Amino acid sequence: MTPPDDATAPVRHPDAPAPGELLGAHYAHCFGCGDAQPHGLMLQARAAEGVAITAEFTVKPEHQGAPGLAHGGVLATALDETLGSLNWLLRVIAVTGRLETDFVRPVPVDTVLHLEAEVTAVAGRKIYSTAVGRIGGPDGEIAVRADGLFIEVKVDHFIDNGRPEEIQAAMSDPDQVRRARAFEVNP
Ligand SMILES: CCCCCCCCCCCC(=O)SCCNC(=O)CCNC(=O)[C@H](O)C(C)(C)COP(=O)(O)OP(=O)(O)OC[C@H]1O[C@@H](n2cnc3c(N)ncnc32)[C@H](O)[C@@H]1OP(=O)(O)O
């Protein structure tokens, strides 16, 4: 998870959403951010300065592991989704190759998890990024953190491996930006 010596600093794409702008869901049925997934996380990410974002996720009763507490896998999903959203600022299509997660504090149901993430380096197809999630407010204590390694892929990754019905439906979306973002493709 340490970038190689020839890694470079990430470059924000000129058409990346402005700092403060909501990214919106990249795909309505995404478990992390989609608004058509009633039990999903419905995570909302917002562009920040540089190649960074902030995001929020409210833990619902459906997200429990231990009684009254968020499931660790759900928290990892929130971190994965937040880190994955960063790639939209680079306008690169990428998937998670590796995700290393630290669970620092339990996160109760009804808590808002405040996430911050940034890309730290790029080396060829490899994108290195890091995120923290805080509870008790955007400046509250750290409850979770993760480092991610995303690997750039071609759109064929989804076309070749996804189910045809969902691929076709996403590609037929009349909204051009949503259609592009379903696969995180530069429109
Ligand atoms: C629906 C729309 C969504 C659009 C995106 C939505 C974003 C939000 C969703 C959150 C993101 C996700 O959960 S995405 C879903 C979860 N992830 C996946 O399903 C990915 C499954 N894995 C794969 O398909 C594959 O393993 C890939 C694509 C990751 C890599 O395969 P590949 O293309 O053949 O590349 P490969 O040559 O193996 O590796 C390229 C370089 O990366 C390194 N590398 C590869 N994997 C790893 C790894 N696990 N740990 C360390 N390093 C790795 C290699 O060493 C190599 O380094 P070097 O030799 O060049 O130095």
Rounded Cα gap, residues 98 and 91, in angstroms: 20
Tell me, in angstroms, the distance from the centre of ligand 1 to residue 147's CA: 14
The domain spans of the chain are 18-94
Rounded Cα gap, residues 147 and 128, in angstroms: 8
Q: Is the CB of 97 under 6 A from ligand 1?
A: yes
Closest listed residue to residue 22, CA positions, set 4, 39, 43, 45: 45
Instruction: For residue 114, list its beta bridge partners.
Output: 56, 134
Q: Is the CB of 149 under 6 A from ligand 1?
A: yes
DSSP secondary structure of 5-28: TT-B-----TTSPPTT-B---SST
Diameter over CA atoms, the chain: 46
Q: Which of 37, 95, 168 has most ligand 1 atoms within 8 Å of CB, for mutation?
A: 95
Rounded Cα gap, residues 64 and 39, in angstroms: 11
Instruction: Return the residue whose CA atom lies nearest to atom 29 of ligand 1.
Output: 97
pLDDT per residue over 158-182, tens digit each? 999 999 999 988 888 787 777 777 7
Instruction: Please say if the pLDDT value at position 77 is more than 50.
Output: yes
Instruction: Please say if the pLDDT value at position 78 is more than 50.
Output: yes
Q: Which fold is adopted by the domain 18-94? A: Thiol Ester Dehydrase; Chain A (3.10.129)
Q: Is the CB of 29 under 6 A from ligand 1?
A: no
pLDDT of residue 187: 45
Tell me, in angstroms, the distance from the centre of ligand 1 to residue 152's CA: 7
ipTM: 0.95
Q: What is the pTM of this model?
A: 0.95
Q: Is the CB of 84 under 6 A from ligand 1?
A: yes
